[in-house]
Amino acid sequence: MTPVPKKKHTRSRSNIRRNASFKLKLANLIRCPHCKKLMFPH
């Protein structure tokens, strides 16, 4: 079994966190109850 490099692991973890934040933003855009149009939160 080959040991997994730490750099790759941290990179993967960071990517997941970034993806989560992106999904959160998307949810905020869709969750806007005032207007039916997609708007970016300021």
Q: What is the pLDDT of residues 7-42, one digit of tens each?
A: 655 566 667 777 777 777 766 666 666 666 666 555
What letter does residue 3 receive in the DSSP assignment? P
State the Cα–Cα distance between residues 9 and 41, nearest whole angstrom: 31
- In this prediction, residue 21 carries a pLDDT of 76
Task: Check whether 6 has a pLDDT greater than 70.
Answer: no
pTM of the model: 0.31
Report residue 1 as tokens: 């079994």
- In this prediction, residue 17 carries a pLDDT of 74
- In this prediction, residue 41 carries a pLDDT of 57
Q: What is the mean pLDDT of residues 2-10?
A: 61
- Tokens 């969750």 sit at which residue? 31
CA dihedral over 42, 26, 35, 37, signed as positive or negative:
positive
State the Cα–Cα distance between residues 38 and 29, nearest whole angstrom: 5
| Rg, C-alpha atoms of the chain | 17
